[in-house]
Amino acid sequence: MKKGLRLTVNGQPYELYIKPKTLLVEVLRDHLGLTGTKRGCDSSSCGACTVMLNGMAVRSCSVLALQANGGEVLTVEGLAKGNELNSLQKAFLDYGAFQCGFCTSGMLMSATALLNENPKPTKEQIKEGIDGNICRCTGYNSIIRAVTAVVKGEYKEAK
């Protein structure tokens, strides 16, 4: 009944053998130990499980892992280069764009997807870009300031 799954996560190819009902988030967290991706709602509404699949932000709690078969996944663990944080991560630190941190991975992935698609978003577009992610701590505005700082080029990306 189990099925084979090939998946590239943060550049690393994996081959797994899973039950078809396994969700993408479960493969990431429970099979690969990438616990940076969180689960917050089980109703496809909080965004804490957001990852990038083939370049798009998706909710990994609402995608069967087999639906991602052959795909490329980027999770929060794939953002830093070695021990150097990327621009968004640095901006989140500088602008205090998180508190408890439980939504932060998903928030960073939504922001990453946004900037990949549109490197110069307006404030309204930034708000729209993170609207699918609930943060119960910050009130979002510090996150918007952090993303804005990256858009304005306040940070240099590590090579």
Q: Interface with another protein includes 5 (CB under 8 A)? A: no
Determine which residue in the list 9, 23, 32, 115 makes contact with another protein, applying CB under 8 A.
Answer: 23
With 0-12 CB in 10 A as exposed, 13-18 as middle and 19+ as buried, what is 134? Answer: middle
Residue 157 CA to residue 21 CA, distance in Å, equals: 38
For another protein (CB under 8 A), the number of binding residues is: 75
Q: Interface with another protein includes 92 (CB under 8 A)? A: yes
Q: Which is nearer to another protein, 16 or 41 (CB)?
A: 41
Q: Interface with another protein includes 112 (CB under 8 A)? A: no
Residue 119 CA to residue 86 CA, distance in Å, equals: 15
Residue 75 CA to residue 19 CA, distance in Å, equals: 22
Report in angstroms how near the CB of residue 15 gets to another protein at its nearest.
17
User: In the range 132-151, which residues lie near another protein by CB under 8 A?
Assistant: 132-144
Residue 26-55 contact track with another protein, rule CB under 8 A, x = bound: ---x----xxxxxxxxxxxxxxx-x-----
Q: Which is nearer to another protein, 42 or 152 (CB)?
A: 42
Report in angstroms how near the CB of residue 153 gets to another protein at its nearest.
19
Q: Interface with another protein includes 157 (CB under 8 A)? A: no
Residue 61-90 contact track with another protein, rule CB under 8 A, x = bound: -xxx-xx-x-----xxx-xx----x---x-
Q: Interface with another protein includes 93 (CB under 8 A)? A: yes
